[in-house]
Structure 1
């Protein structure tokens, strides 16, 4: 990966619990000089999900969820106020493309760090470690883990690796059904078109707790992977990565991380794996 230099980190004054979002270059400004975290630009473009209750959800002009709250905190530390954030919908299938095409400066979108993606982009973090699990109808007693999906219909979001992981490692005969968003998978589950939905446990907990799904679904509660959520950055963003990691570390140490997790999963019964969380950010490459 190419390495670049950039300006010094601009630290904004401490604000409220939910602070501003993650740093990047000004719109249209080249990222080749790794200027994303220099601060002081007019706006910062942050890619998030728009359809994940508890993580990244758009409701009118309001954006809520753990990912958006973490993004706000990091961006504040990079010198960007709340009103300087430009939220950009970034679906799973287009995340690498959005970074490569300079459509966003950073991505906070339940973006699991893996080696294949690191060939194309950089990651800061992780800032959270989830576990892949299953969402089923509340009265379903047949599916207790991925091995029970043989011959079943399983929904996941286009571009996600979750369902492919199950097919490769647990149930070769599972029938994969892709939908553009997790809300679409929940609709398919409610109608009986699929038997289960798979993704990370914290996402499933958010879906189950959504008002329109109350009492319909349950999370199996048998996680079978580690999904390390990172901050997606353009390739060559070593200095930006280091500054984002410093902000994540501060967020964990000052207690904000725990408060944000609790605030965004309250009422779901979800408890993060305390052997994996809070995580320690990786060294930047």
Structure 2
């Protein structure tokens, strides 16, 4: 299914998928969460290809959310790997004002723009600026084998959450998917979920969902809120009051028309009914398969 020049490390919460492009100029696309388990998995991916981290010629970031960029600082600082990120995400690292996640600062050696062409392995990756979930989100497009590395776009069975709290946020996600569709990809490697081979069906599902959300912003808010709850709890168990203090909770509450505490309780109850969240010793825990937490201390 995948060509021999491309290897994929499936994401395991809280890490997004990482792709390795092989050849004379090997590059990594995205860098996972930065947890010890994520770093070890990336090192194993490289070792299986006969590479060490210092052999990479670049880390190409699709966008600046923590599950995609958390591991990039280690590669840059310890191994001198250059980092590439779109200009519009330079001041948007990890979406602090919405998700409240942070990572240590990391250098950006190449500031990307739409239309840039990057050496990757023995191939060329074209930078396609799509925006949507972050201002600088990009797709990396390989036109010979028609493979798109899409960050959070065009998933199999789900869709990327939309910036429901910003004017035009849902429409921006639909526009980003349309830009991917215009490329005519044969295979999509998204940041979450399996590699997509029935690309037209995945694109149609995404566009249908965003079209519905344009007329139902509370549904978009609840979708984003559920993902924020799980992502937060994977990092560390918390009680509902702690969740209600996070910035995304205020935006969800305002959109669904509930007090913040009520909106969080609704999200948690829905996830608990599906077995995704459970309470233990007064704290909420995510039950999804996840990378082991880093050792204390």
TM-score by length of 1: 0.32
The structure with the largest helix share of the pair is 2
- The structure, 1 or 2, with the larger RCO (C-alpha pairs under 8 Å, 6+ apart) is 1
TM-score by length of 2: 0.31
The structure with the largest strand share of the pair is 1
